[in-house]
Amino acid sequence: RKSVIRITTGSQALDELLGGGIETSAITEAFGEFRSGKTQLAHTLCVSTQLPTNMRGGSGKVAYIDTEGTFRPDRVIPIAERFGMDPGAVLDNIVYARAYTYEHQYNLLLGLAAKMSEEPFRLLIVDSVIALFRVDFIGRGELAERQQKLAQMLSRLTTIAEEFNVAVYMTNQVIADPGGGVFISDPKKPAGGHVLAHAATIRLMFRKGKGEQRVCKVFDAPNLPEAEHVFQITPGGIAD
Ligand code: ADP
Ligand code: MG
């Protein structure tokens, strides 16, 4: 593996949970209910990735694939200011694309890989990785095909992460778990089944706490301690 870099999330507690921040050459997945902070972490990482490595950044550019239309350049400005960076320069180093179908999403990845071979990228965001698959393959009969296409996309993400030493941050949705098996108090589980579970290097579960407080837990990682940490969503991005 190329020399792995860890990029700060903006929260010490969250960084600790991750062993120092989100890792390059790896896929970090965040899943959780609506408004749990998945997209806000993406916004923060857009900035922190551009910090120099001695400031716990990645000294690199950012690629952002948005399937839900929730990227807000306006939100990046106060986050850049918090980290002492020039907002205009920060925005210039974010290559943004909105995807409208799962095929479009896949083709965007191919185009980005070409860009990454020419310029130093350290972060690829896919927010959300699964939403378009859930729209484009609706019926139960299509599930096998959906999972096959999803596997193809995830394999592409793994290749990009490793080939370009990029941190992939992908968000995932939660779905009702009729078995109620995952969380006793909240019968939901991450979408995407085994295919998605196996692609992620690390899976984070987000949930809402009081006010702007959020809770993050490392999900299903046998070699990491069962721990959860509280973080906040602030105008300057994710913080303690
Ligand atoms: P998800 O992507 O998990 O659905 P988001 O990351 O979009 O959730 O989180 C949305 C939440 O972020 C909002 O409910 C709000 O509490 C918080 N938020 C958004 N913008 C700001 C801001 N400028 N300052 C503080 N909190 C914010
Ligand atoms: Mg979101």
Q: What is the pLDDT of residues 61-92, one digit of tens each?
A: 999 999 999 999 999 999 999 999 999 999 99
- Distance from Cα 35 to the centre of ligand 1, integer Å: 6
Cβ 134 vs Cβ 191: under 8 Å: yes
State which ligand 1 atom lies nearest to the alpha carbon of 72: 20
Residue 179 buriedness (CB in 10 A; 0-12 / 13-18 / 19+): exposed
Can you tell me the ipTM of this complex? Answer: 0.97
**Across 54-61, average pLDDT:** 98
- Distance from Cα 35 to the centre of ligand 2, integer Å: 7
Name the residue at shortest CA distance from atom 25 of ligand 1: 234
Cβ 48 vs Cβ 85: under 8 Å: no
**Across 207-223, average pLDDT:** 87
Nearest alpha-carbon partner for 16 in 6, 24, 27, 25: 6
pLDDT category of residue 148 using cuts at 50, 70 and 90: very high
- Distance from Cα 25 to the centre of ligand 2, integer Å: 23
Residues with CB under 6 A from ligand 1: 32, 34-40, 75, 212, 233-235
Torsion angles phi and psi, residue 135, rounded to 5 = -85, -45
Name the residue at shortest CA distance from atom 14 of ligand 1: 35
Ligand 1 pocket mutation pick from 38, 72, 233 by most atoms within 8 angstroms of CB: 233
- Could you read off the pLDDT of 189-208 as tens digits, one per residue? 999 999 999 999 999 999 99
Name the residue at shortest CA distance from atom 18 of ligand 1: 233
- The mean pLDDT of the chain is 93
State which ligand 1 atom lies nearest to the alpha carbon of 30: 3
Q: Identify the pLDDT of residue 186.
A: 62
- Could you read off the pLDDT of 92-123 as tens digits, one per residue? 999 999 999 999 999 999 999 999 999 999 99
Cα–Cα distance for residue pair 127/31, rounded to 1 Å? 10
